[in-house]
Chains A and B, each alone.
Chain A
Amino acid sequence: MLGVLASIIDGVLVGLVYGLAAMGLTLIWGVMDVINLTHGTMIVAGMFGLYGLASAVGAPPYLALPPVLIGGFLAGVLLYWVAVHRMVGRPPLMSLLSTFSINLMLIGLGTSIWGTALFNVEVALPGFSLGRYTFPGAHILAAVLAALIAASLYLFLQRSRLGKAVRAVANNREAAELVGIPTTRVLAITVGCGVAIAGVAGMLIGTLFPFTILSGDSYQLKSFVVTALGGFGNPVGALFAGIALGVLEGAVTPFVPVSWTLVIEFALFVLVLVVFPGGIFAARRGAL
């Protein structure tokens, strides 16, 4: 029984990080109807940023957070101008193509530099034990940081002038333009934020697990699942859906053969989509 409880707590911890990662995807999707297929690679970029600063330079791992945040923001703005700007207003999913191409380039470049070799960042933090089960310190800290970043994103969107502008653009771009909001700049900033969050989530994941240049695929997939459960363009929903996914993975594992977890996870995902097309955690459509 204790094992089940431990797995559920573990699920909450990791789920918070999944949720944060998905927030980056859902923010961009909700505001401008762009599915960012570089999402997984941006998560990996965060991991490699962490590795570069922590293992190569020798800085404490968590000091990588500000540089990854800023670097991610700049990369996002660049991504906007290169791949997204010309796609806004085109047939809805042309951006799928442009981000797919950018992703191909990034993965190609990454593979020729690093190969698919394994990277690991050691984090020595005291953990917390529950009987024979241990929650590593890195997991607890990553979850706390993920929650803090998610909360600040929420406050930014709800309270700040710029955040309100983002929401206005998401609701009705023409109207926002009409009342004098510089929509293009707002869109660029949104992509910047989305990528920065993906990067930071990647950095946090990098403190938990070893990674390779191709690790992004799995997390991108998880972000899709979380986005659908949480409702599109709904960062708060994404956070809760992330926790739900983590708990599901944790709670199912003790009872069924491990190899069936994914079958259950994705079958449930399709079912939820069909039954609650707006996402379980979407109180109202477009909560942005």
Chain B
Amino acid sequence: MKRLYLLAAAAAATAFAATSALAEDTITVGFTASLTGPLNVDSAGQQRGYEFWRDEVNAAGGIKVGGKSYKVKFVTYDDQSVGGRVQQLYTRLINQDKANFLFSPYSSGLTAPATVITEQYGKIMIDSGGAEEKPFETGNKYLFMVITSASHYLSGAIDALKKYDPHAKLALVYSDDPFSKAVLAAAAQQAKAAGLEVVMDESYSPSTTDFGPIVNKIVSSNADAFLGGGHYSDGATLARQMHDQKANMKWISILVAPADDKFAELGPAALGVTVPSQWELQVNFKPQFGPTTAQFAKAFMDKMHAKADYHAASGYTVGVVLQHAIEQAGSIETDKVAAALNATDITTFFGRVKFATDPGHHGLQAAHQMVLAQWQMVNGKLGRQVVWPEEAKSAPIMFPIKQQ
């Protein structure tokens, strides 16, 4: 009987040793995703990017730190697209699940409340889903953003318009949400600087369902170029109603919605619509670290059975940047990794990544460039082509948009 006890104790001890050894060799990364609620689509894309990175790293033996390999483990919950929930869950991720590093939830509105928690516990959080600048202006030390921030979203569109039609009359019509407002406020200034005329500048409530009267108002304003939209269904509805009501825009740039492949559902209404994009399949940077675009796209397709989009690419990049910083720091201690992140200046397939380090904008992306993608007919099928900047373009721009 006694021997049995001993045996059991020994077994328990080895089991304990095994788990603690395991725990030593894993890095736990925590984040919430919006599995339910209005942010679901974009959040799901980002999460696929995160998960794809984890699988790739673990398949390659993990993150190497000073002769040791760490496997990456994820802990993730559904935040229901609600800010209060985010704080509850990030506290849990840090304290109960012992996350070493954190990734951001999707959208600026959810990243800001999460930051209160991560900063308080001094944990690094890397952001790929909230492009707004305000959370970076409140003196955070451990928040980093890999994507281009809101005020640069439409600079490419403005430059392109200036080149193709300096006399364009712009209608800026956008969703009354923080992100879209920040983007269009910057675009209005850039348009003014470029000498373009803005004939309409209005926001609509995010819950607007019928854009008929708004499209009529655009027509009345004599605008021939449209910049605006917001998050998802509103952008698609605008595109469709401008087409249905024959608004005859020469140029249409819409935020976010056209970056998703489902935008093709709109058929003829999608043709010619441009979208500022953090990354497209045709973008070709020479990576110093991690895979090339072609390798990434193929592996992603094979593994996730979906075409990679920019949410997936930016999610993946978050992982790559963390991995790079940990390997540079040679440690998984927060302060050393944070120092390595501050010093990061690398080019991956996603583009160049470098963080602002001045206290007023700490963690904001300082190097990454966006492209402008346009929906065009390729072999009888609708697809996105990079049309701006000129040096990165994969197809000639369609200007003005030809209604079919």
Q: Which of A22-30, A189-197, A205-213 contacts B (4 or more CB under 8 A)?
A: A205-213
Q: Is B210 part of the binding interface, using a Cβ–Cβ cutoff of 8 Å?
A: yes
What is the total number of residues of chain A having a CB less than 8 Å from a CB of chain B?
A: 48
B265 to chain A, nearest CB (A): 4
Q: A137: nearest residue on chain B (CB-CB)?
A: B244
Q: Is B245 part of the binding interface, using a Cβ–Cβ cutoff of 8 Å?
A: yes
What is the total number of residues of chain B having a CB less than 8 Å from a CB of chain A?
A: 42
Whether A249 contacts B210 by the Cβ 8 Å rule is yes
A218 to B220, alpha carbons, bound, how many Å? 27
Whether B265 contacts A120 by the Cβ 8 Å rule is yes
Given contacts A115-B41, A138-B244, A261-B205, contact A212 B233 (CB under 8 A): yes
Whether A118 contacts B36 by the Cβ 8 Å rule is no
Determine the chain A residues whose CB is within 8 A of the CB of B241 once the complex forms: 209
Determine the chain A residues whose CB is within 8 A of the CB of B88 once the complex forms: none
Whether A210 contacts B266 by the Cβ 8 Å rule is yes
CB-contact partner of A209 in B35, B39, B240, under 8 A: B240
Whether A218 contacts B207 by the Cβ 8 Å rule is yes
A61 to chain B, nearest CB (A): 13
- Residues 17-47 of B at the A interface (beta carbon under 8 Å): 35-41, 44
Whether B217 contacts A120 by the Cβ 8 Å rule is no
Given contacts A117-B262, A122-B267, A259-B202, contact A7 B232 (CB under 8 A): no
A201 to B316, alpha carbons, bound, how many Å? 42
Q: Is A258 part of the binding interface, using a Cβ–Cβ cutoff of 8 Å?
A: yes
A80-114 Cβ-contact flags toward B at 8 Å (1 or 0): 00000000000000000000000000011001000
Q: A265: nearest residue on chain B (CB-CB)?
A: B205
B168-188 Cβ-contact flags toward A at 8 Å (1 or 0): 000001001000000000000
Can you identify 25 A-B contacts, CB atoms within 8 angstroms? A7-B216, A11-B212, A115-B40, A116-B39, A116-B40, A119-B262, A120-B240, A127-B246, A135-B245, A136-B244, A209-B209, A210-B265, A210-B266, A214-B38, A215-B209, A217-B207, A218-B209, A221-B207, A250-B212, A253-B213, A254-B213, A257-B203, A258-B205, A258-B208, A259-B203
B residues lining the A interface (CB < 8 Å): 35-41, 44, 173, 176, 202-205, 207-210, 212-214, 216-217, 219-220, 232-233, 236-237, 240-241, 244-246, 257, 260, 262-263, 265-268
A residues lining the B interface (CB < 8 Å): 3, 6-7, 10-11, 14, 55, 107-108, 111, 115-120, 122, 127, 129, 132-136, 138-139, 208-212, 214-215, 217-219, 221-222, 249-250, 252-254, 257-259, 261-262
